Amino acid sequence: MALLDETPLLPARHLKLIEWASHYYHHPIGDVVFTSIPSLLRKGKAAIIKQEVIWLPTESGRKLKPENLSRAKKQLSILQFIKQHQHGVSQTRIQNEFENARNPLNELSVKNLIEKTTPATEKSDETVACQKDKAWILKPNKEQQNAIDKIISCSAAYQAFLLNGVTGSGKTEVYLHLIRYILESGKQVLVLIPEIGLTPQFIERINERFGDSIVTLHSGISEGERLIAWLKARNGTASVVLGTRSAIWTPMPRLGMIIIDEEHDLSYKQQDGLRYSARDLALIRGQREKIPVLLGSATPSMESMKNTRDGRYQELLLPKRINNAKLPDIQIHDVKNEKMYGAISQYLLKNIKQCLHNKQQILLFLNRRGYAPVVMCHDCGYISQCPRCTVYMTFHKHNKRLHCHHCGHNKRLPNTCPDCSGNQLIDVGHGTERLEETLAELLPEAKILRIDRDSTRRKGSMQKMLNDIHTGNADILIGTQMLAKGHHFPKVTLVGIVDADRGLFSIDYRASERLAQILMQVSGRAGRGGTPGTVIVQTHYPEHPLLNKLALHDYTQFTDLLLEERQQTQLPPFSFQVLIRAESNQQEIAIKFLNIAKTRLQTAAQGKLEIYGPVSAPMEKRAGRYRLQLIIQAGNRQTIKKFLTPWIESLDQLPEARKVRWSVDVDPQDMI
Ligand code: ADP
Ligand code: ZN
């Protein structure tokens, strides 16, 4: 093997973290290394940074009046974008921001409005001070200042903090002040955000303050960009790394703080391969590097709430919205027996009309994309079951196909029933596509925007829709959870939760926690611009205690209820779990493997562990394979660890293990 790099790719401290993860998650160390480095490095690319092209406005570019480029809209937008950055912008970043940017860039350069440079030497961040301009005029309020001071006073040692603040209470502003402090002390900051939370608004806000000392790492960048960002972080030339889950693996030589926004978010847990939790790893990393770790959320996870109660985390509260803006009024609306227009109750419709009349925006939340979640035959009862999974296939009207959202299987919607050839196929239930159609019929004048994974597939389309929302070029926003988090829509005053019932009754004990989180997050979108907001929650179970606690905005009381329940039932966070999953296209084979495994563990553990199963996973079959699981539970991590490590090694030797696909999930978040 050729020697590609002269300096070691991963610092020793980082290798230790990898070792820890390999051990804790029972995952082969080679694979952990692979997961944790950019894929181009895995393929043998040398770890050096190619010189980047930086674009700067020329003198005439600076002076140009927008009217003079009015017929070249894209060139104008790009020029404006470049002008916003005094040190110029890299070509990569422009291409991230604008689709097909190459031609307009050439045009602008031919017109002598912009020019290229390459940085002579990389700026070291000691010289990259924060932008000192108007962005910092917001003075932290008392609660924010208190949080900032507390954290700064512990900045030379490990301490976990939970910044528990309602939506719009100024958490992000606290992060920004802390980042500034850490940068000014010559250190680096790692900021993790959820997959969906990486909103352009957030990036803009952070860019505005820290300009080019930031690199971002998320699924939207190319592998080349990822490598450059990673190297800059590792070399210490980037002071802030802003990224989703996998950014936790970025080596940073002068790391001074880790911030995790929306710490309760599920996307921090990887659900396949190395099933790590970026939040938990951040805490471990913080302990080892002796730096503070800040977790922020309006709806903290039960794990973090318990850790706070046990005194392991320091809790910092931001109980009020900035400028005492009112939290929205949450109305639990009983839809039983009410006249419905598709998925919309008469009451919700009346409120929507009122908002439209007042020229305010409306956000309708429905976490189900597609047209109808199932298609059924009226004659024989046929149902559009996925042939490979135990779920129904969703009807998507725009391409007239049935899609399985779990395995990707899809097919044309048949004209007649596949079972009885009858022609009475009916689509049942409501997805975002259908909601859009219903509203377009009811309110032909309204401008409706649907924002889900289907409508935002094309690069730049999300950005365009967000622009439409902000410029008022949209009246009704229909969205899945993509819209629930992180965004700031000042003109939205009414939020409708179209269907709250699905989350109330589920076999997964975490479902109520998730429902609460999503309800609070979506509600947090309402009334941020000064006009108080209203949230209408459509349900058939208005007396449900959970909904009622939430209507009072009392997440703490809700937490009390839920933690009490979890304690009584000895479920996490009052116990620790490991899930062993086994999949096979023959159910018996998976059962046999798990039974043998279970017997071995029972013999070894002598009653010190609780072992449940084998049981079918909630989704019994997926992509043609039966899925079964063993749940192993104990009151503390050490007990699990002690018995699991030798046991898992012994399983590898079993001939039955070779016949199934099996995996270990430590601290599982999702039973599916
Ligand atoms: P969160 O992250 O908790 O939702 P943000 O930090 O986004 O809250 O703050 C909500 C809004 O309040 C933002 O528009 C922000 O600019 C503004 N804001 C935050 N802190 C202050 C402050 N101290 N003074 C004035 N406005 C503030
Ligand atoms: Zn399927």
pLDDT band at 335, cuts 50/70/90? very high
Tell me the C-alpha distance between 30 and 268, whole Å. Answer: 21
Q: What is the pLDDT of residue 6?
A: 56
C-alpha of residue 265 to centroid of ligand 2, in Å: 25
Ligand 1, residue 322: give the atom nearest the CA.
Answer: 12
Q: Atom 8 (ligand 1): residue with closest C-alpha?
A: 170
Q: What is the pLDDT of residue 627?
A: 92
| Token pair in block for residue 306 | 């318990």
For residues 588 and 592, give the distance between their C-alpha atoms in angstroms, rounded to a whole number.
Answer: 6
Query: By alpha-carbon position, which residue is closest to atom 4 of ligand 1?
Result: 168
**Ligand 2 centroid – CA 408 distance (Å):** 6
Q: Kind and range of the H or E element at 286? A: helix 278-289
The Å distance, Cα 390 to ligand 2 centre, comes to 7
CA of 391 to the centre of ligand 2 (A): 7
Q: Find the helix packing angle between 200-210 and 461-470, rounded to 10°.
A: 80
Q: Per mean pLDDT, which of 236-250, 483-497, 644-658 is the most reliable?
A: 236-250
Q: Which ligand is nearest to the CA of 407?
A: 2
Q: Which of 550, 535, 543 is nearest to 336 (CA)?
A: 543
DSSP 8-state code for residue 9:
S
Ligand 1 atom at minimum distance from 167 CA: 4
Q: Mutation test of ligand 1: which of 141, 164, 173 has the most ligand atoms closer than 8 Å to its C-beta?
A: 173
Whether the Cβ atoms of residue 178 and residue 148 lie closer than 8 Å to each other: yes
Q: What is the DSSP letter of 270?
A: -
Mean of pLDDT over the chain: 87
Show Cβ contacts of residue 332 under 8 Å, excluding neighbours closer than 6 positions. 537, 539, 542, 547, 548, 551
Q: Which atom of ligand 1 is nearest to the CA of 175?
A: 6
Q: Tokens standing for 632? A: 């192993």
The continuous run of DSSP H or E covering 206 comes out as helix 200-210
Question: Which of helix, strand or coil describes residue 228?
Answer: helix
Beta carbons of 451 and 399 less than 8 angstroms apart: no
> Which ligand approaches the C-alpha of residue 394 most closely?
2
- Measured in Å, residue 172 CA sits from the centre of ligand 1 at 7
Tell whether omega for the bond before 614 is within 30 degrees of 0, i.e. cis. yes
Give CA–CA dist 118/91, Å, rounded.
10
Pocket of ligand 1 (CB under 6 A): 138-141, 144, 165, 167-173, 322
How far, in Å, from the CA of 597 to the mean position of ligand 1?
A: 53
Compute the Cα dihedral for 400, 402, 403, 409 and give only its sign.
negative
Residue 599's CB: how many other CB atoms inside 10 A?
Answer: 11
For residue 203, report the distance from its CA to the centre of ligand 1, in Å. 15
How many Cβ atoms from other residues are within 10 Å of residue 220's Cβ? 12
- How many angstroms is it from 406 CA to the middle of ligand 2? 5
pLDDT in tens, 203-220: 778 888 887 788 888 887
From atom 10 of ligand 1, which residue's Cα is the shortest distance away?
168
Let me know how long the chain is: 672
- The percentage of the chain sitting over the pLDDT mark of 90, rounded to a whole number, equals 51
Q: Which residue in the block uniquely carries the two structure tokens 């505005």?
A: 208
- Can you tell me the distance from the alpha carbon of 367 to that of 405, in angstroms, rounded to the nearest whole number? 13
CB 215 within 8 A of CB 266: no
Coil, strand, or helix at residue 129?
Answer: coil
Taking the C-alpha atoms of residue 231 and residue 225, their distance in angstroms, rounded to an integer, is 10
Scanning the structure block, which residue is given the tokens 């991963």? 10
Ligand 1 atom closest to the Cα of residue 140 is 23
Examine the pLDDT at 129 and tell me if it is beyond 50: no
The reported pLDDT for the residue numbered 51 is: 64
What token pair was written down for 670? 């999702």
**Ligand 2 centre and the CA of 622: distance in Å?**
6
- pLDDT tens digits for range 259-288: 999 999 989 999 989 999 999 999 999 999
Q: What percent of the chain has pLDDT over 70?
A: 92
Any idea which of 130-134, 175-179, 656-660 has the lowest mean pLDDT?
130-134
Query: In this structure, which amino acid lies at residue 27?
Result: H
3-class state of residue 315 by DSSP: strand
CA nearest ligand 1 atom 24, residue: 138
Nearest ligand to the CA atom of 402 = 2
Measured in degrees and rounded to the nearest 5, phi and psi for residue 492 equal -80, 125
Q: Is the pTM of this model over 0.85?
A: no
pLDDT at 263: 96
User: For a pocket test of ligand 1, which of 144, 163, 172 has the largest count of ligand atoms closer than 8 A to its C-beta?
Assistant: 172
